Amino acid sequence: MTDFPAALPDIPLVEWASAINTRRSVRSYKGQRVDPAALAALHGFCTALPARSIARVAVLDDAPPDLFTGLVVGGYGRVTGAGSAFLVIGRSDADLVQETMGYLGEAALLEATAMGLGTCWVAGSFDRTVASRLVDLGPEEQVFAISPLGYAEEKPRRSEALLKAMVRAKHRRPVLEIAPGFDEEHWPAWAAEGVRLARIAPSAVNRQPWRFELDQGAVKVTVVKRGAEGSVSRLLDVGIAMLHFEVGARLMGASGVWQVLGSPDVALFRPIPR
Ligand SMILES: Cc1cc2nc3c(=O)[nH]c(=O)nc-3n(C[C@H](O)[C@H](O)[C@H](O)COP(=O)(O)O)c2cc1C
């Protein structure tokens, strides 16, 4: 078993746990420019992220509106008023590229959320040609997802509210569905908090394709294989949930690392004995 290459040594646990609890996807922005100091801090944060040979996150200070195309013709669910953006970039030929992009991309989104900025993972409805013109891509690198960055409107526009209703954005699968056998009394507190924070993670069309099981003192995450996957890899979602899980586990005192497993298992989080 190998350690997950994107592991973050220092996570601001309290700030990110709070960001996880308050975050929601924002598609309606005020049209104000993002504070340059906040952008500079995000540039520094993203540059310092590990595993750059697999995936990275670029900050785009000025995001053109045609980057955001909306879900279907007519711009339904389109992002409006966002001045800046993250580009989530991966090497399409690298092992673990999807999980790594999910994990590192979510790190950037949580950092931005903790700074009071609105974000929204967008892996389907953006213009890939525009995106790839906005950044220098290395060999085999592609922009797999983006997120707007900006100040959220108090209320989402009507078309965003409709999109949220369509994907039931607030709905989350019951804990016993994502963690069969979950038992608050018998699961260690770190594992329970990890599952609680993973459960509220964002995912493409809110599909929540992650499953957790307790396995001899460690927690294993697997990916659901049933049904059509669509154009966005479920492993991207799982990478996001892995970071949320880790924040919960570490918050409850279990520092540990994800170890990579073979398909259909994804990874195992084993706390380091103290
Ligand atoms: C990998 C990924 C891809 C997504 N792609 C899109 C997208 O293309 N367009 C969009 O409007 N929302 C997109 N979303 C946002 C989801 O619809 C949203 O996270 C989900 O409905 C849960 O809502 P919440 O983020 O407000 O909790 C995506 C989310 C993830 C994690």
CATH number of the CATH domain containing 31: 3.40.109.10
Instruction: Determine the Cα angle at 204 with ends 29 and 23, to 5°.
Output: 45
Please give the number of the atom of ligand 1 that sits closest to the Cα of 164.
21
136 and 237 together in one domain: no
Going by alpha carbons, the residue nearest to atom 1 of ligand 1 is 204
Burial (Cβ within 10 Å: 0-12, 13-18, ≥19) of residue 189 = middle
**Averaged pLDDT score across all residues of the chain:** 95
Q: What is the span of the domain harbouring residue 187?
A: 175-271
Span of 53-57, 113-117, 224-228 with lowest mean pLDDT: 224-228
What the block records as the tokens of 110 is: 């949580």
Residue whose CB lies within 8 A of the most ligand 1 atoms, among 120, 208, 232, for a mutation test: 120
d(CA 97, ligand 1 centre) in Å? 19
d(CA 26, ligand 1 centre) in Å? 9
Going by alpha carbons, the residue nearest to atom 31 of ligand 1 is 203
pTM above 0.75, yes or no: yes
pLDDT score of 14: 98
pLDDT score of 49: 98
Going by alpha carbons, the residue nearest to atom 17 of ligand 1 is 205
Mean pLDDT within 214-231: 93
| HEC readout, the chain | CEECCCCCCCCCHHHHHHHHHHCCECCEECCCCCCHHHHHHHHHHHHCCCCCCCEEEEEECCCCHHHECCCECCCECCCECCCEEEEEEEECCCCCHHHHHHHHHHHHHHHHHHCCCEECCECCCECHHHHHHCCCCCCCEEEEEEEEEECECCCCCHHHHHHHHHCCCCCCCCHHHHCCCCCCCCCCHHHHHHHHHHHCCCCHHHCCCEEEEEECCEEEEEECCCCCCCCCCHHHHHHHHHHHHHHHHHHCCCCEEEEECCCCEEEEEEECCC
Q: Which of 164, 195, 212 is the last residue of a domain?
A: 164
215 and 265 together in one domain: yes
238 and 190 together in one domain: yes
Residue whose CB lies within 8 A of the most ligand 1 atoms, among 104, 121, 126, 237, for a mutation test: 121
105 and 59 together in one domain: yes
Taking the C-alpha atoms of residue 255 and residue 272, their distance in angstroms, rounded to an integer, is 6
d(CA 123, ligand 1 centre) in Å? 8
Q: Which of 134, 164, 194 is the last residue of a domain?
A: 164
d(CA 274, ligand 1 centre) in Å? 38
223 and 123 together in one domain: no
Strand order of the β-sheet with 218-223 is 2-3, 256-260, 265-271, 218-223, 210-215
Please give the number of the atom of ligand 1 that sits closest to the Cα of 120.
15
Query: Does residue 169 belong to any structural domain of this protein?
Result: no
150 and 19 together in one domain: yes
Is the CA virtual torsion 194, 251, 273, 9 positive or negative?
positive
Residue 107 has pLDDT above 80, yes or no: yes
d(CA 27, ligand 1 centre) in Å? 10
Residue whose CB lies within 8 A of the most ligand 1 atoms, among 125, 205, 210, for a mutation test: 205
pLDDT score of 74: 58
Q: Which of 121, 145, 164 is the last residue of a domain?
A: 164
160 and 179 together in one domain: no
154 and 122 together in one domain: yes
109 and 232 together in one domain: no
pLDDT score of 206: 96
87 and 147 together in one domain: yes
Taking the C-alpha atoms of residue 191 and residue 211, their distance in angstroms, rounded to an integer, is 13
pLDDT tens column, 186-218: 999 999 999 999 999 999 999 999 999 999 999
Residue 75 has pLDDT above 70, yes or no: no
Number of structural domains found in the chain:
2
55 and 189 together in one domain: no
What the block records as the tokens of 117 is: 């900025």
Which residues lie closer than 8 Å to 240 by C-beta, 6 or more apart?
102, 103, 105, 106, 121, 201, 202, 203
d(CA 122, ligand 1 centre) in Å? 6
d(CA 186, ligand 1 centre) in Å? 33
Residue 73 has pLDDT above 60, yes or no: no
Residue whose CB lies within 8 A of the most ligand 1 atoms, among 122, 168, 229, for a mutation test: 122
Residue of 117, 41, 49, 62 lying closest to 88 (CA atoms)? 49
pLDDT tens column, 12-48: 999 999 999 999 999 999 999 999 999 999 999 999 9
Query: Does residue 202 belong to any structural domain of this protein?
Result: yes
138 and 202 together in one domain: no
d(CA 5, ligand 1 centre) in Å? 25
Residue 154 has pLDDT above 70, yes or no: yes
Residue 213's DSSP bridge partners are 220
